[in-house]
Structure 1
Amino acid sequence: MTAHTPRRAARILLVDAADRVLLFAGSDPARPEHRYWFTPGGGLEPGEGFAAGAVRELAEETGLRVAAADLGEPVHWEVTRFFFDSVPYCQEQAFFLLRVSDWVVDTAGFNPVEQASIHGHRWWSVDELSSTADRYYPADLPALLRRVWGEEAPC
């Protein structure tokens, strides 16, 4: 049995005025054929809190700068196990909801791993996610968005 590397991460459900969520298209460097869509966010730095990590990752990956207080409390927590570049991870992650009227994504802050493994981005509606054959994470993203929107009605 392979031991998984523990990791903490913060993810952002970035939703525009048309109720679409931003997802990045990625692949695993060790398995380039393994393609998927995922939310902005990533691993926390040592000693970094979830909200602080979320705003740092959001700025690096999208160019959008907000204060940690703008995120509020996490809307979802989960633990996931996965491999990336042949390394097994056990990741505890918090998801934050952030609404914007619109946003032009700026990926100039991508680090070298992101530059090599992220191939684009797009805004997805819940209906598009529910009907696509594409892989996305978390796998229950449409249900998660509907649940979150039940607690906070869309604009």
Structure 2
Amino acid sequence: MASSVAMGSPGAACPWERWTGRVIPFDEQGRALLMHGHEPHRPEQPYWFSIGGALEGDEDARRAASRKLFEETGVRLSPEELHGPVLDETVEFSCAGVRVVQHQEVFSCRLTSSIAPTLDGLEAAEMATVDAAQ
């Protein structure tokens, strides 16, 4: 897989095409750890989403999911501790007025309920749109 490739710019007819690794951690009771936030142009419409992000360099989706789990929640698991992919799909959506075509592999993992996620590792753009990890 290639890393994120900008196929267009904001307002362009072409979408921004990107490849991502995502992960949905579950605790012992089967509860999923998800992120909560909003699209920058529609803060009045919050939604839940899985942890993850774009592949970097020659990284594969499993490594990206492991890296983003740590960056976004402070939870460190090796790529080998992720199960799956449990889902491999392409989704299309709009973010900040830009059409996005996102190819994503989604993994799962088990966490103990004693692990407390933190948002301390979010990038500036993520901090502006993410308000919780629960």
Q: TM-score, normalised by structure 1?
A: 0.74
2:125 aligned with 1:109:
no
Moved beyond 4 Å, runs of 4+: none
Alignment-derived partner of residue 121 in structure 1: 133
2:14 & 2:79 partners in 1: Cα distance? Answer: 33
Alignment-derived partner of residue 43 in structure 1: 54
Q: Deviations over 1:94-153 (max 9, x none)?
A: 01010112220011100001110001122xxxxxxxxxxxxxxxxxxxxxxxxxxxxxxx
Cα contact 2:118–2:133 (8 A) shared by 1 = no
For 2:72, the aligned partner's letter is E
Alignment-derived partner of residue 26 in structure 1: 37
Secondary structure of residue in 1 paired with 2:128: helix
2:130 & 2:109 partners in 1: Cα distance? Answer: 21
Report deviation, 1:46: 3.1
Alignment-derived partner of residue 70 in structure 2: 59
1:70 & 1:14 partners in 2: Cα distance? Answer: 11
Report deviation, 1:26: 0.8
Q: Deviations over 1:11-31 (max 9, x none)?
A: 111000110001111101122
**Which runs of 5 or more residues in structure 2 are unaligned?**
1-11
Cα contact 2:20–2:55 (8 A) shared by 1 = yes
- Report the count of equivalent residues: 122
Secondary structure of residue in 2 paired with 1:75: strand
**Which runs of 5 or more residues in structure 1 are unaligned?**
123-155
2:41 & 2:57 partners in 1: Cα distance? Answer: 26
1:66 & 1:121 partners in 2: Cα distance? Answer: 17
Q: TM-score, normalised by structure 2?
A: 0.85
2:79 aligned with 1:79:
no
For 2:132, the aligned partner's letter is G
Q: Which has the higher helix share?
A: 1
Secondary structure of residue in 2 paired with 1:78: strand
Alignment-derived partner of residue 81 in structure 2: 70
